[in-house]
Structure 1
Amino acid sequence: MLLHRILTALVLLPLVIGGVLYLPTDGFALLLGSVILLGGHEWTRLAALTSPPRRFFYLISIAGAMVLLHLLLQDPTLSLGLFIMASVGWLVVSWQIVRYRPDQSAEPGQAGKLLIGYFVLLPTWAALVYVHGSGETGPVLVLYTLSLSWVADTGAYFAGRQWGKVKLSPHISPKKTREGVYGALAAVGIWSGWLIWLRPETGSMPQIVLLCLLVCLVSVVGDLFESLLKRQAGIKDSGNLLPGHGGILDRIDSLTAVAPVFTLGLLLLGGL
C-alpha cells in the first residue's frame, strides 16, 4: 500500500506542479474543473445517489456553477463575499465536528448531502483559480496553498504514527490522534517560513505564521468531515481512481477547507 502511494505521488506531483506553473489561468481553471467534476462524481457515492441521469445532472450543475463563478470572480467584492461565506461554513462544520456524537447527531438526507457537495467543492475551485490569476506570483501561491495541506497531512501522519496515543475523534476517525494534530501544527509552523521568505509582502511574520496555523487546524476539519461522510455512507474510500490513495476526494479533503480559508486570509492581509 505504501509503495502504491509513493508511486502514485511520484507520477502525479510533476503533473500537478507543471499544470499550476505553466498553464494560463483559464487552462488551469479547466484542468482543476475536471478534477472537481471527478470529485463531484465521487460525492454522489457519499450521498448514495445511484441513478445515472441524476448523477449526470448533478455534475452538469457543478460545471454550470463553475462557469458562473468564473464570471463572479472578476468582481473583488463578490469574491471576498464568497470566501467569507465558505470560511464561516467551515467554522460551522468545525463546531459540528467537535460536538458530534453518533447517537445524538442527525444525519443529513440525500438532498442535504448533495447541497453540501456544492459548498465543499465549488469554493475550492473558485479559491485556487482566484489565487492563480492574482498576479505573477499567483501560480506559486497556488502551489503553496496545495503544499499546506500536504505538509499538514505528512506532519500528522508521522507524528501520529510515532507518538499518537490520545484519540482525536474516535467516533469519526479512530486512527487520528491529538499528537498527530500537534505534528501537523509543528510542520506547518516551520513551513510558514517558506512563505515569509518567498513573499514577505504577504504580511508580517506573526500574521503569516498565525494564518498558516489556523489553516492547518481547518485542514484537520476538512479531513474529519470527509471521514464522517464516508462512515455514514459505509465506505472506506471515496473511490479507487488513485492507487494507494483511494479517490479524488480522499486526496483533496483537507484542501477543500484549506483553499477558501487561506485565500480569505491572504485577501484580509492585503497579500492578493
Structure 2
Amino acid sequence: MLKWRWITALVLLPLVLGAVFLLPNAGFALVMLLVVALGAWEWAALAGLQEPGRRAGYVTAVVAIAAGTWLLFPFPLLTATVLSLGALVWCVLAVWQVRFELGRARADAVSGLSGMGLGVLLLVPAWFALVWMHDRPDGPWVVVVVLVLTWAADVGAFFAGRWFGRRRLAPRTSPGKTQEGAMGGLVLAVVLVWGMSVVLPVYLPGFGALAVLALVTVAASILGDLFESMIKRLRGVKDSGTLLPGHGGVLDRIDSLTATAPVFAAGLVWL
C-alpha cells in the first residue's frame, strides 16, 4: 500500500505542477473543475446518492455553481466575501468535529439535502480560492505555497508522530494521529513558508503575519483531513473511492486542500 501511495504521488506531482505553471488561468480553472467533478461524484455517494443518474446530476450542479462563481472575480468585495465565507465554513465544521469526538454527531446529518449542500460548501470555495490565487501576477507561486503548506502538515505530522507521538489528537476520528505529530506539521510549515517567502518570487505578508497565517492554514489542513475521516466513519466506508492507488479516491487526496485553499486565500485578503 505504501509503495503504491508513493508511485501515485510521483505520477501526480508533475501533472499538478504542470497545470499550475504551464496553463493560463482559464486552463487551470478547467483542470480544477475536473477535480471538483471527480470529488463531487465521490461525495454524492457519501451523501447517499447511489443511482448513477442522480450522482451525475449532482456533479453537474456542483460544477455549474463553481463555474458560475467565476463571474464574481472582477468584483473585489464579492470575491473577499466568498473567500471569507469559505473560511467561515471551516470554523463551523471544527465545531462539528469536536461534537463527533464527544459522541454527539449523527450519520444522517451527512445524507440527503444537507449532505449534498455540505459537498458544495467543501468543493466550491476551494476551487474559487485556488483559481483566484492562480490569477494573481505571482499566482502559480502562491498556489505552490498553499500546496507545500498542505503537504508539510501531512509529512511533518507523519514523521513527528512516528518519532515522538504519545497523545492522540482525535481518538474517535483517527486514532493514529497524535498531538505531537500535529505540532511537527506546524513547525515544518512555518519553517518552509519562511524559506519560500525569501527565495520565491512571491508577494506575501511580513514574517509575523505570515507565520500566523501558516499556523492557521496548517490547522485547517489537519481539520480537513480529520473531517473527511469523520464523514467516512459516519457513513461506514474506508475510502471515498478507488481512483488513486494507495490513496483511495480523489477526496482522500484533496481533503486537506479543501480547507487550506479558502483559509489561506481569505488570509491574504484580510492581511
Q: Distance in 2 between matches of 1:200 and 1:58?
A: 37
Q: What residue number does 2:41 align with?
A: 41
Instruction: Verify the 8 A CA contact 2:141 2:201 in the aligned structure 1.
Output: no
Shift of the alpha carbon at 1:265? 0.7
Shift of the alpha carbon at 1:97? 1.4
Q: Distance in 2 between matches of 1:189 and 1:252?
A: 21
Q: Is 1:168 the equivalent of 2:176?
A: no
Instruction: Verify the 8 A CA contact 1:90 1:257 in the aligned structure 2.
Output: yes
Shift of the alpha carbon at 1:262? 0.1
How do 1:65-80 and structure 2 match up within 5 A?
A: 65-80=65-80
Q: Distance in 1 between matches of 2:175 and 2:53?
A: 36
Instruction: Verify the 8 A CA contact 2:150 2:260 in the aligned structure 1.
Output: yes
Q: Distance in 1 between matches of 2:235 and 2:106?
A: 14
Shift of the alpha carbon at 1:102? 6.3
Deviations 1:213-252 (A, max 9, x none): 1111111111111001111111111111111111111111
Q: Is 1:159 the equivalent of 2:145?
A: no
Q: Distance in 2 between matches of 1:202 and 1:37?
A: 31
Q: What residue number does 1:119 align with?
A: 121
Instruction: Verify the 8 A CA contact 1:41 1:55 in the aligned structure 2.
Output: yes
How do 1:123-272 and structure 2 match up within 5 A?
A: 123-135=125-137, 137-197=138-198, 198=200, 201-269=203-271
Structure-1-length-normalised TM-score: 0.95
Shift in CA distance, 79/102, structure 1 to aligned 2, threshold 3 Å: same
Instruction: Verify the 8 A CA contact 2:45 2:55 in the aligned structure 1.
Output: no
Shift of the alpha carbon at 1:106? 3.0
Q: Distance in 2 between matches of 1:239 and 1:157?
A: 23
Q: Distance in 1 between matches of 2:255 and 2:104?
A: 25
Q: Distance in 2 between matches of 1:200 and 1:236?
A: 39
Q: Distance in 1 between matches of 2:147 and 2:125?
A: 14
Instruction: Verify the 8 A CA contact 1:148 1:216 in the aligned structure 2.
Output: yes
**What stretches of structure 2 of length at least 5 have no aligned partner?**
none
Q: Distance in 1 between matches of 2:218 and 2:103?
A: 29
SS of the residue 1:184 aligns to? helix
Q: Distance in 1 between matches of 2:196 and 2:209?
A: 11
SS of the residue 2:152 aligns to? helix
Deviations 1:64-109 (A, max 9, x none): 1122111112211111000111111101111221232464323303
Instruction: Verify the 8 A CA contact 2:142 2:202 in the aligned structure 1.
Output: no
Shift of the alpha carbon at 1:260? 0.4
Instruction: Give the root-mean-square deviation of aligned CA atoms.
Output: 1.3
Q: Distance in 2 between matches of 1:183 and 1:163?
A: 9
Q: Distance in 2 between matches of 1:76 and 1:60?
A: 27
- How many residues are aligned here? 268
**Aligned residue identity for 1:63:** V
Q: Distance in 2 between matches of 1:187 and 1:75?
A: 35
Runs of 4+ in 1 over 2 A off after TM superposition: 98-107, 198-201
**What stretches of structure 1 of length at least 5 have no aligned partner?**
none
**Aligned residue identity for 1:48:** G
Instruction: Verify the 8 A CA contact 2:217 2:264 in the aligned structure 1.
Output: yes
Q: What residue number does 1:96 align with?
A: 96
Shift of the alpha carbon at 1:194? 2.4
Deviations 1:118-162 (A, max 9, x none): 000000100000011111x11111111111111111111111122
Percent identical residues: 42
Instruction: Verify the 8 A CA contact 1:132 1:139 in the aligned structure 2.
Output: yes
Q: What residue number does 1:28 align with?
A: 28
Structure-2-length-normalised TM-score: 0.95
SS of the residue 2:256 aligns to? helix
**Aligned residue identity for 1:94:** A
Shift of the alpha carbon at 1:268? 1.6
Q: What residue number does 2:12 align with?
A: 12
Instruction: Verify the 8 A CA contact 1:73 1:126 in the aligned structure 2.
Output: no
